Amino acid sequence: MTNNQNPRDILNLESHFRWLRVRRRTASEWLAWGLWLLSLAILLEYTWSSFVEGETQATVLAGALFFGLLAAGVIVNIMRGVDAQSIHKYRSQQIAQKDDALGSSSEPDETQANGRPLTRRQFIKTVGMAGVTVGAAGSTALVAGSQMLGTPTSGGVYRRPWWVRQVEVPTTGIDWDMMQRVDAARNTLAGNPALGRFASQEENDYLETVRRQNEFNRLTNNEAGFTLKDFALANAFSGTRDIMPRTFLGPRQAPRPEDLGVDRWQGSPDENARLLKVAMQQMGAATVGIVELDERTRKLIYSVDNDGKRLEFENVEHAYEDTEKRVIPFAARWVVVYAVQMSDIAIRRAPTKIAQMATTEAYQRGLMIQNNVQEFLRGLGYQGLGEAELNGLGIAPALAVLAGLGELSRLNRVVTPEFGPMVRIFKLITDLPLAPDKPIDAGIARFCRTCKKCAEACPPSALSFDTEPGWIPIGEWSNPGHQAWFEDSVRCRRYWYEEAGSNCGICFSVCPFSKRNRSFMHDLVRMQIATFPELDELTRTMDDAFGYGVQKDPGDWWDLDLPEYGIDTHKD
């Protein structure tokens, strides 16, 4: 600077640089702007994803947050510019007055040239902002690379996100000494008219009459979800499912290795697990897990199947069936448990014939997979022993938990990390040696302790409001020896007949884990649930605020552009 340089020129020069202000930002300011841009990017992606998914309330609220944060950043930038201009003008005037007073050139002092040293307050502010920014960026990176950091399932077919941890014992307790094998023909409602033995014949007849009358009334009144086209679609799936072959031993049509003149397949348990899982995914299974049978886990296989036939283990080479029993060889030591997706788009229209169709269609695909797997195992030279009756053979939720497909939830059903409760569980037994899977902990059961959204939404109040899962069943339809939120199955089934006019599924659709929105934000929430349960109550509150869990209008289902089977096969 020279003595004869005009202070106004200095002001103009500094004003020119004020609009860039690259040199004038502190480290904490740069970190704050980085955090601001990252937050904007996540909110924009979430807004767009919610819009595409048709989640109106989430779109509006996320969009409002995005534009609010954007406006706040712009305002802060403008206000800082005004403040900076005032400071520059004040300092320029001081420099000009000093030069006039000295009447000679003055070198800028070292403090002005190099900036003032950081105060303790500025240091703490910079370190704090750095921690927040690094934490946000680190969380984003952990979600982006979640599967690369995860542990593969048996066979190494796929990796789950790192926050889905494999554990030695399930997240809800098991008392193997107390547990006994279940007589499914006597103690389950599956396959029984109305309430089965848990009601008198007169009450069962009454419920059947009321159900038919409810269906007729809704049909003749042309209610949305109960119109003729809705009935026709639901009956199409149930009718074809009932004529598809469903057998314990399988179709037994595929040629065996000896029929082809070769030895049967030989592989390590891990190789076999990979082989079978890849084949089953091609057949339509969403996820596959494996449980090894021993003295304890055999208790999860029914003692009597749904149709009244005994299920017995014998020291024989080949399984067989007669008029009284189905025999499982002790050598068949592996249970293959697989999940089939249900259409969350249809279930969100429950209770209607559209939602009922989604359930029936999932059972139909599960049966088709069973037949295919039984024939595939036969072609390798092994046995595949399937469900001879709908929901037969064994306790599906318990086997799914041990196979690592998901965790037992407040629904008293399995909730999976990928699809939430929007699945149906199937199982078969084989003598092909397989590497077993482990149970998982994704924070699901822990979140259920706080959430209770399904219990609040259940029309007949059939779900438990207890914070902790209990050990005492509330009816003979539940097996003792395990910890669960036991539901009142009779009350639930009575609601189907007396009021719904179809099966229900509202508890499935309101579950926070049932969202299939691919937004990055949902992965962040899943990671939080698994790793930081202190925020679970806030997460439940935000789930309500963003409009999730609200049933959709069944009348608009026929106007949708649906994916195949009404499902998204992407694994979250």
The Cα 152–Cα 197 span in angstroms is 44
Check residue 17 and give its pLDDT.
Answer: 44
Per-residue pLDDT of the chain (572 residues), as tens digits, is: 455 555 555 445 444 444 444 445 666 666 677 777 777 787 777 777 777 766 776 677 777 777 777 777 777 666 665 555 555 555 555 555 555 555 544 444 444 444 556 566 655 656 565 665 555 555 566 565 555 667 788 888 888 888 899 999 999 999 999 999 999 998 888 777 889 889 999 999 999 999 999 999 999 999 999 999 999 999 998 888 778 889 999 999 999 999 999 999 999 999 999 999 999 999 999 999 999 999 999 999 999 999 999 999 999 999 999 999 999 999 999 999 999 999 999 999 999 999 999 999 999 999 999 999 999 999 999 999 999 999 999 999 999 999 999 999 999 999 999 999 999 999 999 999 999 999 999 999 999 999 999 999 999 999 999 999 999 998 888 889 999 999 999 999 999 999 988 889 999 999 999 987 567 778 888 888 988 888 899 999 988 888 888 889 999 999 999 988 888 877 65
At 142, list the tokens.
């952990």
Check residue 75 and give its pLDDT.
Answer: 74
- DSSP symbol at 498: I
pTM of the model: 0.82
The Cα 19–Cα 476 span in angstroms is 75
Check residue 525 and give its pLDDT.
Answer: 85
SS3 track for 6-18: CHHHHHHHHHHHH
The Cα 26–Cα 38 span in angstroms is 19
Verify cis geometry, omega within 30 degrees of 0, for the bond prior to 554.
no
Verify cis geometry, omega within 30 degrees of 0, for the bond prior to 351.
yes
Check residue 114 and give its pLDDT.
Answer: 46
Tokens 């080479």 belong to residue: 317
Exposure on the CB side of residue 442, measured as CA atoms within 13 A = 31
Classify burial at 220, counting beta carbons within 10 Å of its beta carbon; exposed 0-12, middle 13-18, buried 19 or more.
exposed
Nearest residue to 381 via CA among 256, 546, 472, 521: 256
Q: Residues with Cβ < 8 Å from 54, sequence gap 6 or more? A: none
- DSSP symbol at 394: B
Tokens 């959709």 belong to residue: 552
Check residue 105 and give its pLDDT.
Answer: 47
The Cα 288–Cα 153 span in angstroms is 9
Classify burial at 72, counting beta carbons within 10 Å of its beta carbon; exposed 0-12, middle 13-18, buried 19 or more.
exposed
At 535, list the tokens.
């925020």
Tokens 């601001």 belong to residue: 36
Check residue 227 and give its pLDDT.
Answer: 96
Q: Are 447 and 533 in contact (CB under 8 A)?
A: yes
Check residue 531 and give its pLDDT.
Answer: 86
Check residue 449 and give its pLDDT.
Answer: 96
Check residue 286 and give its pLDDT.
Answer: 94
Strands 310-314 and 325-329: parallel
Check residue 148 and give its pLDDT.
Answer: 66
Q: Are 382 and 269 in contact (CB under 8 A)?
A: no
Check residue 343 and give its pLDDT.
Answer: 93
The Cα 170–Cα 420 span in angstroms is 17
Check residue 111 and give its pLDDT.
Answer: 43
Check residue 547 and give its pLDDT.
Answer: 82
Measure the CA angle with vertex 410, ends 409 and 416; round to 5°.
Answer: 25
Check residue 447 and give its pLDDT.
Answer: 96
